[in-house]
Amino acid sequence: MNIDLTIAIIITMVGASTPLLLAALGELVVEKSGVLNLGIEGMMLTGAVVGFAVTYTTGNPWLGIFAAAIAGASVSMIFAFLTLTLSANQVATGLALTIFGAGFSALFGQPFTGKPIALFKSIFPDSLTEHPILRVFFDYSPLVYFSLFMVFAVYWFLQKTRAGLILRAVGENDHSAHSIGYSVIGVRYGAVAFGGAMAGIGGSCFPLILTPQWVEGLTGGRGWIALALVVFAAWRPGRLLAGAYLFGLIATMELYAKAAGGSFRIIPSELWASLPYLATIIVLVLISIRHKTSSSAPACLGKPFIPN
């Protein structure tokens, strides 16, 4: 494998990993607050179609990203109201949110199906993005650098700030946090909104940096992989980064297996395509087995809060 092919694989891998990383970071914060939102796929689809529509209409990808974040957060508030205010079952509501997002994106995106937009490319000069070696550091969309920044931002927030400590306390023991005066519902509303915004931005990555057009079901189930990544990473941002890039590498190898011969043909491209989902199932099974003895999951994850 020559250096040009290696660099091309790395660049493709990073791009493919970015939507997973953004959505999973948002879900990590949500779950740290004690809320389990299975509607990531629906929020990503909503962000994808709104981000595409705004970018196509205005020609400004920055507006598209902002609109995708607002759309994802807005849809997440439906989930928050039902589960936090009305104490609906979080699992069932999350699944309903995914179905809603799929239906909404198909309906809203119908007029935009197949219409192209320009990819949201690097903002660095061509001398860096076209350099044979340096492009491995500079030939990325701003969304890639934003995702890397958010890994450190989420870690710093959760581990180094008072607000992060409160959020973790709410996720570990909501009644104790409530007893000392913290608004459990308010904290969880904020966490769910953040998770929705991140999922929306993650969804916008698909039409803006991966496939510059809108087609129904564009995210291809990546929201479920993002959900599994949070568990795979044991609710730690650093591990989440490694897990997202691992899944991104598998997805990249699928593309090269379809397009290239030689060593890539040893494993059929169909098997490469199924590996992310097989890995998701395996991770969930392993975590389920480990949960019987010990778990690093927040103690109140998925449990409704009802004040005494």
Identify the architecture of domain 3-291 in CATH: Orthogonal Bundle (1.10)
Question: 């650093």: which residue's tokens?
Answer: 238
Name residues whose C-beta falls within 8 Å of residue 221's C-beta, 6 or more positions apart in sequence.
41, 277
The Cα 67–Cα 225 span in angstroms is 24
pLDDT of residue 258: 65
Long-range contacts of residues 182-191, Cβ cutoff 8 Å, at least 24 apart: 184/305, 184/307, 185/84, 185/85, 185/305, 187/33, 188/33, 188/34, 188/35, 188/80, 188/84, 188/305, 189/77, 189/80, 189/84, 191/29, 191/30, 191/32, 191/33, 191/35, 191/167
The Cα 31–Cα 11 span in angstroms is 30
- Global pTM? 0.91
pLDDT band at 293 (very low <50, low <70, confident <90, very high): very low
pLDDT of residue 307: 79
Query: What is the number of other CB atoms lying within 10 angstroms of the CB of residue 5?
Result: 11
Domain ranges of the chain: 3-291
The pLDDT tens digits of the residues spanning 257-289 come to 666 654 555 666 667 677 777 776 776 676 566
| Range 100-124 average pLDDT | 92
The pLDDT tens digits of the residues spanning 190-245 come to 999 999 999 999 999 999 999 899 999 999 889 998 998 898 888 999 989 998 99
Alpha-carbon separation of residue 175 from 22, 42, 172 (angstroms): 30, 31, 9
Among 88-92, 247-251, 264-268, 298-302, the minimum mean pLDDT is found in 264-268
CA-based torsion, 145, 147, 152, 153: positive or negative: positive
The pLDDT tens digits of the residues spanning 52-84 come to 999 999 999 999 999 999 999 999 999 999 999
